[in-house]
Amino acid sequence: MLRPTFGRRPSEGGGRGPRGAGGRREEAVAGWLLALPFVVVFLVFSLWPMLWSLFMSFTDMTNRDLRSPFNVEFIGFDNFVTVLSSGQFLRGIVNTLVIVVVGVPATIVLGLLLAVALNNGIQRAKPLFRTIYYVPVVTTVVAIAVVWKFLFADQGVFNAVLATVGVDGRPWLTDTFWALPTIILLIVWRSFGFIMVLFLAGLQAIPQDLYDAARVDGASAPRRLFSITVPLLMPTILLAMVLQTVSFLEIFEEPFVTTQGGPLNSTATMSMLVYEFFGFGAYGEAAAASYVLFAIIGLLSLVQFRVLRSRT
């Protein structure tokens, strides 16, 4: 590092320590130097693409325009009209909302019950169970999605298990009704451990005295759950809701690998359709679709933050 020469700038307010204002300037230079890589990456790979994408969404840009990106026509809102009037995209919105509406509560209820169970009276085995339940969260989604195809195949293990209890199986992932629930099961499977750990952390903040007092008063276990745990955990529950909703609105890998959106678009999600427009080389439409997705995510998180603020 170059030491700035002394006395070049008038000292501001007397300075502190031996280097005074010179030190302050050196601090600013160092701050920028250390922050520079992040700033460059932010400008090149986040800010610029976001603005570029907004521009693209109003043009007829395709993959053939990569070499001369400014040689495109402005077509106003045509891309948004195309996207929003595409039956496929609307189906994608509906499917994604189903995933959120079913998946988020399922994940949160499961995570909450497990956290409460682990927090009550099984101190010694708690770390073991926490580890096991957390494994799906770190496991490569794509690899498990491949496995899911085998587990829920017509001749797969799941149907074999059902057969032993006398239930007729079905080809889960190729059935227009059952494919989406089968994928939601995968999504819940790989998410509840995260929520459980979030709740375990939240539970540590609830004083044990409350439970002791409730027990003395004769409150039953379900009563203690609904009158103490759930209300005091509400901030964490709402945080979990927001986090899960945002991540489920973006669901891509699970349906993409297992069903590719089929059969008959019954598992296509918003993200998959953005990818599809992109894959066809229709960059303008893909950009428009991604902004629609962004708007939906933004809107829903805003609503949830409002709720969160009014409830806590």
Residues within window 125-164 making contact with other proteins, judged by CB under 8 A:
125, 129, 131-151, 153, 155-157, 160
Binding region for other proteins (CB under 8 A) out of 7-15, 72-80, 81-89, 187-195:
187-195
Calpha distance 209→206 (Å, rounded) = 9
Tokens of 210: 């409350």
Residue 75 sits in the site that holds other proteins (CB under 8 A): no
Q: How far is CA 77 from the centre of its chain?
A: 29
Peptide bond into 263 cis (omega under 30): yes
Binding region for other proteins (CB under 8 A) out of 5-13, 74-82, 213-221, 303-311:
213-221
Q: Long-range contacts for 143-147 (Cβ within 8 Å, ≥24 apart)?
A: 144/186, 144/189, 144/190, 145/186, 145/253, 145/254, 145/256, 145/257, 145/258, 146/257
What angle is formed at CA 16 by the lines to CA 14 and CA 19, rounded to 5 degrees?
100
Among 6, 12, 15, 44, binds other proteins (CB under 8 A): 44
Q: In terms of CB distance, is 80 or 148 closer to other proteins?
A: 148
Closest approach, Cβ 281 to other proteins, in A, equals 11
Region 161-180 residues binding other proteins, contact defined as CB under 8 A = none
Residue 26 sits in the site that holds other proteins (CB under 8 A): yes
Closest approach, Cβ 310 to other proteins, in A, equals 20
Among 31, 76, 105, 231, binds other proteins (CB under 8 A): 31
Residue 203 sits in the site that holds other proteins (CB under 8 A): no
Closest approach, Cβ 287 to other proteins, in A, equals 5
Region 97-116 residues binding other proteins, contact defined as CB under 8 A = 106, 110, 113-114, 116
Tokens 């489920």: give the residue: 248
Residue 275 sits in the site that holds other proteins (CB under 8 A): yes
Closest among 163, 97, 99, 110 to 136, alpha carbons compared: 110
Size of interface with other proteins, in residues (CB under 8 A): 112
Binding region for other proteins (CB under 8 A) out of 77-85, 206-214, 267-275, 302-310:
267-275
Calpha distance 69→174 (Å, rounded) = 41
Closest approach, Cβ 16 to other proteins, in A, equals 9
Among 29, 205, 230, 307, binds other proteins (CB under 8 A): 29
Calpha distance 114→206 (Å, rounded) = 16
Calpha distance 209→216 (Å, rounded) = 10
Closest among 281, 288, 277, 274 to 64, alpha carbons compared: 281
Residue 17 sits in the site that holds other proteins (CB under 8 A): yes
Region 215-254 residues binding other proteins, contact defined as CB under 8 A = 218, 220-223, 225, 239, 243, 246, 249-250, 252-253
Q: In terms of CB distance, is 149 or 210 closer to other proteins?
A: 149
Calpha distance 28→25 (Å, rounded) = 5
Calpha distance 235→224 (Å, rounded) = 18
Share in percent of the chain as helix, strand, coil (round to 5): 70, 0, 30
Asked if residue 252 lies in contact with residue 187, where contact means CB atoms within 8 angstroms, the answer is: no
